[in-house]
Amino acid sequence: MEATGPAPAGARLGDRTLSEVAAGLRPYRPVVATLVVIVLLVNLLPGGPEPTGDAVAATGPGAGAPGTGTGPGATSGSGPAGAAPDATGDSGAAGGGAAGPAGGGDAASGGGTAGGPTVAPEAMGPNCDPATGRIRFPSVYAPPCVAPRANPGATYQGVTGDEIVVAIYSAQEDPAVSALLRAAGAEDSSEDVRQTYRDWAAMFQEHYETYGRRVRLEYVQASGDSDDDVAARADARYVANELRAFVAIGGPVAYADELAARGVVYIGQIARPVEFFHERAPFVWGTQMSGTEAFLHLAEYVGKRLAGRPARHAGDPAMHGTTRRIALVHLDTADGIYQPAVRFLEQELQRHGTALDDRIAYEPDINRAQEQARVVIARLQDRGITTVVFSGDPLAPVFFTQEASRQGYRPEWVIAGGSLVDTNFFGRTYDQRQWSRAFGISQLWIRPPYEQIEPYHQHVWHHGRPPRARASNEILYQPMWLLFTGIHMAGPDLNPATFRDGLFRYPPSGGGRRTVLQRSFGRHGLWPWDNYTAFDDVTEVWWDPGAAGEDEIGNRAQGMYRFVEDGRRYRPGEWPASEPRVFDPSIARTHFDELPESDRYPTYER
């Protein structure tokens, strides 16, 4: 079925990988350095296919009778009948939807339910592994088994007895960007992206429980650029009022905000503070870590590992015997949108008995980038700062590190994690005389061979072939995993509240490994608030300018991040109160040649 949406306002640069980065990088677009950013950022997001609907066949026992949609906030009621799927849409094979208990407590125990009665694992059907209490699916994130039940029909807008409507945001395409991506060998075509979305939907549809409903994907072409809030809100109104979707995947912050106001569940890469999610609960979900949670880790790292100790990793030997003087250099806007997050960081540092010696905001204004860098570096030197904590967009360190070398300033550089600063791709663009002293936190994970990464392995296991979108398939996978996990855990009475309750019951999974991170939602003793974002743990890294290997899009060159203690990961409260063990290659590797035994996912016959 065609989803035409608002009329496009002209082709401009599309959405980027991180919503926070998108706003920050926009002013850099005229610069040659932006081309480097585009190659990675656009490559990690879907392009702009022609909008259409894709239906994926229902699984699990007994589909309910065709039902009618309901308005936001309701759990029942009448409305227009759900639209029929496009005849050309892909359909996954039915079956594989056996279920069992899920929810609270350890998944392996089979305790609790996802909206239904407790059932012993052995009574849950062939798709339940009684040894683990989770479904037979090759993933450490496989959800708990759930009891098989028929759905009651329509339960919310976009949820009928037959289907669940999901809108996929497609950013505007830029022909120049596409040409650059092709030249770099890093482009996934629009059809590659659409096919991979269909593939993930078909895979999850068959193995996860959807209670007799099929997921119908509707591709919505953005009517403006990612920083055009007016266009984003118009697109959101179209999704809510015309498509009447239950869930929308991807899109900028203004789009998410408008969808939440209209009762549509949003899933995307939004690194906003936790307040952003709580004020819009239960409608906005993040596929990574919230800004507040990232700063909670950062405060613990600085307070426990850096404060009160000598700056032994500075490039200037004169600083090695000096107690660290720590400054935060961070991205901000003219209206101070990031000030609450910075104040939270300062409050957390106080809890650890320390404080920043300075904090400096910069704006991503290309016309002032060099001048801002000159002023910031001069101020850091003047105030005797030995340790610069950087939290901002991935282009800014190009200017700051070059200017620091020009001024003969050689401090420690501490990475706050996130926003792609901790990728090999961008690390190679910074002044290596400076970045050779960079270390800190990363939300990323040490990588095994590409073919052994879970999403790739699952795709081959289910479909018998690799994903079409090689460069972006992991990015496309994340929201689809969250979507189907929420549906599976919610039970047959699907609405935003049961979607939330189901995800909150999902047990923390993936922890204690090197190559995968821990995911959880709700409260499991990890965060002092309701958690609406997926990532929990982080790792410690340092930059080795002499290490050679592949970056995130397959370019082989020198300069790689090394993961301390072979990628050991830390949850909040777990950072040791000792000096970072950085710049020791004997305990830090850049990658794994083989997936570690401890990280291997369960294996099942297809």
pLDDT per position as a tens digit, 220-246: 999 998 779 999 999 999 999 999 999
Q: Which residue has the tokens 């984003």?
A: 232
**351: how many CB neighbours lie within 10 A of its CB?**
10
Separation in Å, CA 474 to CA 219, 445, 454, 455? 19, 13, 9, 6
Domain 292-442+537-594: CATH superfamily, name plus number: Response regulator (3.40.50.2300)
As a whole number of Å, the CA-based R_g of the chain is: 24
Q: Of the candidates 263, 269, 265, 271, which has an alpha carbon nearest to the alpha carbon of residue 284?
A: 265
Separation of CA 234 from chain center: 25
pLDDT of res. 417: 87
CB neighbours of 247 closer than 8 A, spacing ≥ 6?
A: 158, 164, 165, 166, 167, 264, 265, 266, 267, 483
Report the SS3 class of residue 24: helix
Peptide linkage before 455 cis (omega within 30 of 0): no
Amino acid letter for position 211? Y
In this chain, the answer to whether the domains covering 19-289+452-505 and 292-442+537-594 adopt an identical fold is yes
The domain limits of the chain are: 19-289+452-505, 292-442+537-594
Q: What is the pLDDT of residue 179?
A: 59
Cis amide bond preceding 282, omega within 30: yes
- Residue 134 one-letter amino acid: R
Of 524, 481, 482, 490, residue with least CA distance to 146: 490
Residue 239 DSSP code = I
* Token pair listed for 578: 């000792």
Enumerate the β-bridge partners of residue 166.
217, 247
Kind and range of the H or E run holding 549: strand 538-550
Tokens of 56: 């994926």
What is the rounded CA–CA span in Å between residue 163 and residue 142?
23
| Coil vs helix vs strand at 172 | coil
Low pLDDT (below 70) residues in the chain:
1-53, 55-123, 174-187
What is the structure's pLDDT at 178? Answer: 60
DSSP state of 414: E
DSSP state letter for 422: T
How many angstroms separate the CA atoms of 152 and 75, rounded?
Answer: 11
Q: Residue 26: what pLDDT?
A: 41
Classified as helix, coil or strand, 559 is strand
Token pair belonging to 528:
């002092």
CATH topology of domain 19-289+452-505: Rossmann fold (3.40.50)
Strand 538-550 and strand 569-570: the pairing is antiparallel
* Tokens read off for 158: 């976009």
SS3 track for 135-184: ECCCCCCCCECCCCCCCCCCCECCECCCEEEEEEEECCCCHHHHHHHHHH
Reported as half-sphere exposure (CB side, CA atoms, 13 A), residue 1 has a value of 16
Q: Which two tokens stand for residue 526?
A: 């990890």
What's the confidence (pLDDT) of residue 65?
31
